[in-house]
Chains A and B, each alone.
Chain A
């Protein structure tokens, strides 16, 4: 019954938001919504006995784990928004009349993301995933700047057209199950169970088509062209959610589908397909990172690189690879959200986008010491330094890759080195920049609501980077098992 609290709380909050007009109330309701979801998810994580399967929801370790990431990111972003959105209103970047649309859209995005993750049925999952695209696009375009609307439309067109191919895949899957069992089914559990008895050709086509849509949703090359624009142009609280939570929805779909084909005759072809796309994605992303001059664009391309790396884990397909891929998803979401939120402080400080179109960042440590430190921590984490969670996940996936071919980790390490060079080069360039005496901007005093989530995310990522939380390992192994990958006890 606990899981039913998601829609109940969600609907109540959404209705209340519709009746409110004051900024403070709208903002508070947004925070309450995400905190409630975090609380419900914490209960689900701590008390698996409360899970009950019913007609409307599927609850397993995999979706509870992804939901945990989602609710942490939404909670951080909604707390951050308390201080951030007010600043945007004051500076005239966001119209007061858009506030209700913004907060309602934000809460609705959390609601549909949750519904997508807990959908028992692949078609319902598709529908909710598609709705996350629509709502994300709405939030990106909230600033009503031409560049934002452009980015928003690009996002909708690329993701939605790709998602139509996924739906064709779902139709194939339904028909394959119907041919095999006599009764078609769209339920994840039934598909997972029956896939091995279905026609391999049909399953292969279904997998490829499904992959196209959800690869676009996760920013996998060549469907990635929307991501850098959308993540860079959106308000920072939205960028954090897009990168830390919404990309995972696409990856969640790919994980489930990979599990479905795992036991069929086309498992090898599917792994090869994922491997090729993962390597291309990482390569394109790291070389693009080298030529980025804007902070948010750099972070956005880094998201593409990390999605490619998570996909690599799925391509290898062993329990160890999936285990670390899930762990990488958690670590990446925490760090990336923290980085986008830090970028938001810099955007307020340096009035980005500037007239020249470049990020004119200077005197960073003097003007914004907290953002400078969190930025440094975030970049170190992305590089894969010890103490941060991505260190373990990178090592773990690379070891799993080495079992397939030693050339994969060699190539990936080379790509990591290029990404690290891009991040260090950018950080040094902004750290070295100084304004001539008397010409720099006055320090922007970031509200405490903007600082707390950034520090919390960074500290949490350090915590999971230095130790496994009690029960974390068994929970992740159970999630791998839920994907459909047999885990040896």
Chain B
């Protein structure tokens, strides 16, 4: 029962990555990322039960706090201040082309992994599927970073890539928890900075300083010195 649930979640994760390549609405993109992260939480929990690895419960909790609630809330707040609802511009590839390339990516990763890792996963098809989907997600996220025009959408593409790395890590090996934790902190710092910078690039630069003041990064008191 549990392995089947994990399999379904894995397929849904892949669907959410595809949605990232085609959606034009910024709020939907954030929601999509949030759902993708919820699926990761479910997968981590499922694996914790199947494999009897309690550490994965901690990773699931960490993912829930940071990726399901923390980061989406922050990005949503920035989006509201930017007053931009849509990202309709694409570079290099339009959604249909990007989805076709994604199918190619998934097949390529499958074939490569089948050749390279067959000895490692010969006994467990679920782990093989998880690894393939994890790396495919990373590459699809990269495709989103390359094809989407607005910086804020690129940030979500990057976050999806990072979800792929997490998924791959969950299935392939068990890294020390402290490493997982510090990576999450590192990711949060990176996303906070990048998202703040996107305000300067996705909206008019003249308003940038005013907006930074709104986020309380600059104070009049400091400026008066």
Q: Which residues of B contact A130 (CB under 8 A)?
A: 186, 190
* B161 x A134 contact (CB < 8 A): no
- Min distance, Cβ B215 to any Cβ of chain A, angstroms: 13
Query: In the complex, what residues of A have CB within 8 A of residue B42's CB?
Result: none
Contact present for B201 and A164 (CB under 8 Å) = no
Produce 1/0 per residue, B134-167, CB < 8 A to A.
0100100110010000010010001001101100
Query: Can you identify 11 A-B contacts, CB atoms within 8 angstroms?
Result: A98-B218, A100-B222, A123-B176, A130-B186, A141-B200, A153-B194, A164-B162, A164-B164, A167-B165, A184-B174, A202-B116
A121, closest chain B residue (CB): B179
Contact A97 B138 (CB under 8 A): no
Pair B190/A175 contact, Cβ less than 8 Å: no
B83 to chain A, nearest CB (A): 18
Interface pair A137/B193, CB less than 8 Å apart: yes
Top 9 A-B pairs, shortest CB-CB distance: A97-B223, A149-B200, A175-B173, A146-B205, A97-B218, A123-B179, A97-B222, A127-B186, A134-B190
How many of chain A's residues have a CB under 8 angstroms from any CB in B?
45
Q: Which of A97, A165, A186 touches B176 (beta carbons < 8 Å)? A: A186
User: Is B197 in the interface zone, CB < 8 Å from A?
Assistant: yes
A447 located at the interface, meaning its Cβ lies under 8 Å from any Cβ of chain B in the complex: no
B12 at the interface (CB under 8 A from A): no
Chain A stretch 146-183: residues in CB contact (< 8 A) with chain B: 146, 149-150, 152-153, 156-157, 160-161, 164-165, 167-168, 171-172, 174-175, 178-179
CA distance A227 to B164 in the complex (A): 27
Q: Tell me, in angstroms, the Cα distance from A194 to B225 when the chains sit together.
A: 57
Q: Which residues of A contact B77 (CB under 8 A)?
A: none
Q: A-side binding surface: helix, strand, loop or mixed?
A: helix
Check if B158 sits within 8 Å of A161, measured CB to CB. Answer: yes
- Whether A137 touches B197, Cβ cut-off 8 Å, given contacts A97-B218, A156-B190, is yes
Complex Cα gap A164–B191 (Å): 14
A141 contacts B197, C-beta separation under 8 Å: yes
Say whether A171 contacts B172, CB under 8 Å.
yes
Please give the number of chain B residues whose Cβ is less than 8 angstroms from any Cβ of chain A in the complex.
42
Chain B residues, CB < 8 A from A478: none
Instruction: List the B side residues contacting A100 at CB < 8 Å.
Output: 222
Q: Which of B142, B189, B201, B222 contacts A153 (CB 8 A)?
A: B201
Give the distance to chain B from A202, nearest Cβ to Cβ, in Å. 8
Within 8 A of B (CB), among A198-234: 201-202, 205
Q: In the complex the two chains form, is A161's CB within 8 Å of B197's CB?
A: no
> Contact between B173 and A171 (Cβ–Cβ < 8 Å)?
yes
User: Which residues on the A side are within 8 Å of B176 (C-beta)?
Assistant: 123, 186
**Residue among A97, A131, A171, A179 with most chain B CB within 10 A:** A97
| A133 CA / B219 CA spacing, docked (Å) | 26
* B172 and A175 contact, CB distance less than 8 A: yes
Give, as a whole number of angstroms, the nearest-CB distance from B127 to chain A: 11
Closest to A100 in B: B222
Q: Give complex CA distance A373, B161 in Å.
A: 48
* A19 vs B223: C-alpha distance when bound (angstroms): 16
Given the known interface contacts A157-B158, A167-B165, A179-B120, the answer about A150 and B179 at a Cβ–Cβ threshold of 8 Å is: no
**A202-B115 Cα distance, complex, nearest whole Å:** 12
- CB-defined contacts of B223 to chain A, threshold 8 Å: 95-97
- Within 8 Å of chain B (Cβ to Cβ): is A425? no
With an 8 A cutoff between CB atoms, is B90 at the interface?
no
Which residue of the partner chain, among A97, A145, A179, contacts B219 with CB atoms under 8 Å? A97
